[in-house]
């Protein structure tokens, strides 16, 4: 039966701001305490979704989470008026927009019981992301009511799990001869690794994956210290094609044979620092209904001679058909490119038919969401604005009206 690879994309929340909460994420730290534009950020993300929808790639909507997370403040003995600045920034964070970290999804053709398995990431490495987990798990159950939903792994650094940002899947055009790849990190000199081998192995067991078709790759600690906080900052994959930087891993991918078509980008072609600053590998590599493979890349790649030349080479060699450069700068400034904004769900047609329809993007929903964003989102937020008592109320009203929109379509 035909397989459809849908994208679950997060709508940027109305409190999107640059508080610099993500140590090890160079873009996040670089733009800390600058002024964000939540309205533009949400529209850029939505326009990316519509662009892919128009190319024939199904798009599923992940709503923003309620912010501020008042229950977290209450659990710590604070309220919105007396919380310390750093804690206030964390409970106002809109980081759930990067749904590549929401979960790991294994399609039914990969699992021993023939069911789709979903494990929400525990996100224990960062407090502002850890508090997203219960709502994310609830959203995923609403979107995919018929699938197997596991509990997040134990909330301990031994089992630190950051979802599909450290997970890749290799298959042929028909979804056959599947291989799932989990990428983990260990001790570094500067920045912390965010995915552990124990976590990756646990998810593989929970998802009932075939050990003979499951690979665990260790990140190069030098890459992590250069700002490669997730694998999707240094590698991208689609079907049987895997594109990665030569400094990505400790164990050479050449040792893995089979169906994987491996393309190594060399340091002299694209320096690691430039790969990180342009988010070259955080592009979306997708297959269109026609069977052609294309790339959705951030504008920053178009403005880089090295990144642009690497893509040009991939086109000339016939690996991809073309590259589309899209503007998601508001997300990029906080450390997330096109691929960070989406979670893949490879589903058979009959499985896709079970997806809760109210979360599926179409032209009507796109139009209503654009109206909703323009009505409810600010075009400027500085971290100091989190003290504005009106911001909380604005966020609550916006989310309530979004629920009405999704319920009515």
Q: Are 191 and 160 in contact (CB under 8 A)?
A: no
C-alpha span between 100 and 378 (Å, rounded): 25
Q: Beta strands 167-170 and 148-149: pairing type?
A: unpaired
CA–CA gap between residue 106 and residue 116 (Å, rounded):
6
Task: Give every CB contact of residue 262 below 8 A, 6+ residues apart in sequence.
Answer: 242, 244, 253, 254, 256
Q: Rounded to an integer, what distance in angstroms lies between the CA atom of residue 253 and that of residue 18?
A: 36
Q: Per-residue b/e over 326-349, b at no fewer than 16 CB within 10 Å?
A: bbbebbbbbbbbbbbbbbbbbbbe
Catalytically annotated residue among 330, 340, 351, 376: 340
Q: What are the two backbone dihedrals, phi and then psi, of residue 112, each rounded to the nearest 5 degrees?
A: -65, -30
- How far, in Å, CA of 263 to CA of 258, rounded? 14
Pairing of strands 284-287, 214-218: unpaired
Tokens describing residue 245: 């930087």
The verdict on whether 31 is a catalytic residue reads no
Q: How many angstroms separate the CA atoms of 187 and 219, rounded? A: 10
Query: In the annotation, is 330 catalytic?
Result: no
The single residue of 162, 180, 274, 330 carrying the catalytic annotation is 162
Helix 363-376 to helix 38-55 angle (10° resolution) is 170
Residue 117's DSSP bridge partners are 106, 148
Phi, psi of 138 (to 5 degrees): -65, -45
Is residue 5 annotated as part of the catalytic site, yes or no? no
Query: Choosing from 230, 246, 274, 301, which is the catalytic residue?
Result: 230
Cα first-last separation, the chain: 29
Query: For residue 338, what are the contacts with CB-CB under 8 A and spacing of at least 6?
Result: 48, 279, 282, 283, 284, 296, 297, 298, 326, 328
Catalytic center residues: 162, 230, 340
């Amino acid at each position: 039966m035909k397989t459809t690879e849908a994208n679950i994309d997060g709508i940027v929340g109305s409190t999107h701001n640059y508080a610099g909460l993500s140590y090890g994420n160079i873009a996040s730290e670089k733009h800390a305490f600058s002024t964000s534009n939540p309205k533009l950020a949400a529209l850029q993300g939505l326009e990316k979704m519509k662009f892919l929808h128009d190319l024939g790639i199904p798009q599923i909507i992940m709503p923003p989470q309620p912010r501020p997370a008042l229950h977290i403040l209450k659990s710590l003995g604070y309220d919105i008026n007396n919380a310390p600045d750093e804690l206030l920034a964390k409970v106002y964070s809109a980081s759930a927009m990067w749904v590549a970290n929401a979960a790991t999804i294994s399609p039914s053709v990969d699992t021993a019981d023939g069911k789709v398995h979903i494990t929400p990431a525990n996100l224990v490495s960062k407090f502002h992301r850890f508090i997203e987990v219960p709502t994310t798990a609830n959203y995923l159950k609403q979107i995919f009511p018929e699938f197997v939903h596991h509990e997040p792994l134990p909330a301990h650094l031994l089992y630190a799990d950051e979802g599909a940002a450290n997970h890749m899947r290799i298959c042929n055009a028909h979804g056959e001869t599947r291989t799932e790849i989990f990428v983990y990190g260990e001790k570094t000199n500067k920045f912390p690794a965010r995915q552990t081998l124990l976590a990756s192995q646990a998810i593989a067991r929970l998802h009932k994956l075939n050990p003979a078709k499951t690979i665990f790759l260790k990140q190069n600690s030098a890459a992590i210290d250069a700002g490669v906080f997730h694998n999707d900052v240094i590698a991208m994959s689609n079907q049987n094609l895997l594109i990665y930087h030569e400094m990505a891993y400790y164990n050479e991918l050449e040792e893995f044979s089979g169906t994987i078509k491996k393309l190594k980008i060399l340091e002299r072609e694209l320096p690691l620092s430039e790969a990180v600053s342009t988010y070259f590998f955080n592009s979306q590599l997708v297959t269109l209904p026609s069977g052609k493979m294309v790339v959705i890349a951030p504008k920053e790649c178009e403005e880089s001679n090295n990144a642009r030349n690497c893509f040009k080479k991939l086109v000339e060699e016939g690996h991809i058909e073309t590259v589309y450069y899209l503007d998601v700068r508001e997300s990029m400034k906080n450390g997330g490119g096109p691929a960070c904004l989406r979670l893949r769900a490879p589903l058979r047609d009959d499985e896709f038919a079970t997806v809760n329809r109210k979360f599926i993007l179409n032209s009507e929903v796109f139009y209503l969401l654009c109206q909703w964003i323009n009505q409810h989102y600010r075009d400027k937020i500085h971290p100091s604005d989190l003290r504005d008592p009106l911001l909380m109320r604005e966020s609550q009203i916006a989310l309530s009206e979004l629920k009405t929109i999704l319920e009515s379509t």
